[in-house]
Structure 1
Amino acid sequence: MPNATSTLDCTTSSNTCGGYTSISINEYCTDFSVLSDSSSGQISTIENITAGSQFCVAFNGMYWIGLQSTKCSGSGRKKRGHNSGHGSGPTRPTVSTTTVAGCYSTSAGWSIGCCIDLTVRPDGFINTPPVATIISPITIPINTITNITIPVIDADDDYLSCRWAQKTTALDECGDVCQMAPGSTLDNDDCVLTYNSTGKTVGQYYAVTLMVEDYYDSSTPTPFSSVPVQFLIHIVSATACPLQPTISSNLSDCSPIQVGVQFTFTLTIVQGCPGTTLQDVYTMPPLYMY
C-alpha cells in the first residue's frame, strides 16, 4: 500500500511531459473485506496537459508482500532484456505463457505505470484509454485450473488486447514481478488468464502484472495506449463447494447515469452449492457509491 506522500511521476526525461505535474496516489477507501483482509479504493485528479504530448508516468517504490519474484536473496536483481519503446511491437501474440523463473521474496520492488499519448487519432479524436478493474487477491484452490476474465471496457469501442507487462527502456511496467505467475496462460485477444495451481503450495502468493491495450482495429500493429492491471493470486486449500456464486443485476450492458442524480440498481447473488452461506461481498466501486 503506498504511503500518504506517494506520487505518480513522469518518467520521460526527453521532454517536459506536456505540463504534467506529479499527482498523489493516496486514494480514498471505497470498500474493505475483513475476510480477505483487503481494501479497494479510487482517486480522481484533473490535469491540464498540452495536446499532442507523449510521455510515460509511473509509481515506483514500496514492496509487494512475500511472493514469488525475480529478486532472489543472495543473487540480487536478475538481469532482464530490454525492448525498445513500449507496446507489443509489430505483431501481437494470441496466447502467451509465463516463462520466467523466480524465488520467494519479501522485498520485490513494485512498479506500475502507463504511457500517455495525446496526439490525434486517425478518426480525428484524442484517444480515451480502456478501463480495467479487478479485485485482489483472487483465491484459487490448490490443484485446480481457473479461468480469470479481466473486465475491460473502452469508450471508443476500440479493438482490445491484453499482454504480459514487461520492463522496457521506455517504462518499467512490473518491477521485480514481471511474468511471475508460473502456470499461467494468457488469451491475449479475450483477456482471459488461465491459471493452473497444480503443484503449488497452499498459502503462496503470486503477482499477475498485465497491460490492456487498445488498437484502432485488429490489424493495427501499435496500440493507442497501454493500461496496467496488477493483482495477486492466493493459493488456498481445496473447497467442499467447487462452484462459485453467480451474480446478476437489473442493469443493461451499458446504462446511462445522469450527473447529480442518485442512481440505484440491484445485484442478485446466488450461492454456488446448496447449504452454503454467503459470508462477504467485496466490491471495487467508483467514488460515492454505497
Structure 2
Amino acid sequence: MLEDTIKSFGSVPARLLNSHKGSYGKLLILAGSPGMCGAAALCARAAYRSGTGLVRIVTSEENRIPLQLLIPEAVLSLYREQEELEALLEQEFRWADLCVMGPGLSQSEEARALVEEALRQIRIPLIMDADALNIVSEDPQARKYLYRTAPSSPVLLTPHPGELARLTGRELEEILKDPMRVGRVFARRHDLLLIVKGSHSLLFSRGAERYFQNRTASPALSKAGSGDVLCGCIAGIFEILRAEKGSGESSAALLYRAAALGISAHVTAGRLAAERFGQHGVLAGDTADMLGLALEAVNAPPR
C-alpha cells in the first residue's frame, strides 16, 4: 500500500497555503502523433491530478483541437514540419524543469526525428516511455544520445517486459523469468533509473545501487493508457518533491523517490477507481482522476 512506501521514501508534501502554479514546476510532455493524442491527454491529466503546476505538450498541429477539448488546462506547443523541431525544442527545454517523452508518439519518421533531436538537446530530468523506448531500441543515433545524457542528467525509463527485451536485445522469456537480474544489469551499465512494469513493478535507482518492488497490485490497471497515467503521476510527484525547500537531494534521488511513490499511488488510484466502476470497468482516465484522492489519503494538512 501507499502508506508502506511512504515509510521508506517519505510522504508527498502538502501544498503551501501561499503557493501558486509556478511553485509546482513546469512539465514538458513530448507525445501524441496524429490520431494518437489520447495518450498525451492522459499523461497531462495524471500530472495535473498528481500536483504539477504547469503542463505544456509538444505535439503535431493535427492534435490541436482534440487536445484543447480533452485537457484545456494544458498549453500546446505545436509543430507542422520536422524542420521546426530543433528551434522549438530548444525554446521549450529552456522553459521546462522536467520532460516526459513517448506516450502515443508512434514510430513514424516524424516521431523518430523528434526523439533524436530531443535526446541530442536535453539537459533536464527525463522520463521515457512507450514509443520513445521503441525508437531508441532501433535507432543507434538516438541510443547514443540517450546513453551519453543519462550519467549527467537523470533519465528514468519505464518499459514493460516486451519493451525491455527490445532495449536489451534479450529474449522476452529471459526478461519474464528474471526481471530483477536483467533490470539491474541494464540500469547499472547505462547509469540510469529503470522501472520494469508489471503487476509487481520493479524500480532500480541510478546505477542500480538500490531497488524497490511494489508488493501490491490492482488488476483494474490492465487497460490501455495505464502507462501514460503512471508517467504523469511520477512527473507530478517529482514536481511536488522538487518544490520542497532545503531538501538537499539531487534530481536523480528525487526522481527515484517520485517513481517509488508514483508506482504505489498509481496502484492505490486503481483500487479506488475499481471501488467505483468495478475492476472490469475502470478506464485509464478514471485512474488518473483518482490520483489526487490516493495522495490526499496520506498527505499532511495544507501549510
Q: Which range, TM-score by smaller chain?
A: under 0.3
Q: Which has the higher strand share?
A: 1
Higher RCO structure (Cα 8 Å, ≥6 apart): 2
Using the size of structure 1 for normalisation, the TM-score is 0.25
